[in-house]
């Protein structure tokens, strides 16, 4: 039996459906698209994770008032059929205002994608998806140690919105 051909737009509709169903059941999920497949994952919404996202967003805005951090923002590139939801996306105000698609930000218009790892090993993070979409900067924040203070695995000290 051959696999039916599906378009990126059809996958986008399915993603909205999966996330809507999960929301009705009180689950926080993220559905990403790559290689004509949808990967649905449940998000571990801990207070520490939330605090890290808020503090990171505040730091970004205090460094550059033209930067807009989007919590749970999606980046995509329909031309290559990839969509990924980050814990934080950073975009320029002008790019956000000019965004016609409410599903996701166009990858090359995203300044940075930031993910907070909730697993000890962090293997669930796939930074290649962001680079394939044209996102120039990716940061992975991994809480470590006894007090679980965040430490940056790779991130610039100052994000400059283009």
Domain ranges of the chain: 45-154
For domain 45-154, the question of CATH label 3.90.1570.10 is answered with yes
pLDDT at residue 155, rounded to an integer: 40
From the DSSP assignment, how many helices (H) and strands (E) are in the chain? 4, 10
The model's pLDDT over 88-112, given as tens digits with 9 standing for 90+, comes to 999 999 999 888 888 899 999 999 9
| Predicted structure pTM score | 0.79
Rounded CA separation 51/41 (Å): 21
């Amino acid at each position: 039996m051959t696999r039916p051909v599906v378009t990126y737009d059809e996958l986008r509709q399915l993603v909205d459906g999966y996330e809507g169903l999960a929301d009705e059941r009180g689950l926080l999920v993220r559905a990403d698209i790559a290689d004509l497949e949808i990967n649905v994952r449940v998000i571990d919404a801990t207070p520490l994770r939330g605090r890290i996202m808020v503090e990171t967003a505040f730091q970004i805005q205090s460094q550059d008032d033209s930067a807009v951090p989007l919590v749970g923002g999606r980046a995509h590139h329909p031309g290559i059929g990839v969509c990924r939801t980050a814990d934080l996306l950073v975009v320029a105000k002008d790019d956000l205002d000019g965004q016609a698609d409410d599903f996701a930000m166009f990858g090359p218009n995203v300044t940075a994608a930031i993910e907070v790892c909730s697993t000890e090993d962090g293997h669930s993070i796939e930074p290649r998806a962001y680079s394939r979409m044209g996102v120039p900067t990716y940061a992975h924040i991994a809480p470590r140690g006894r007090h679980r203070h965040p430490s940056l695995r790779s991130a610039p000290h100052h994000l400059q919105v283009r």
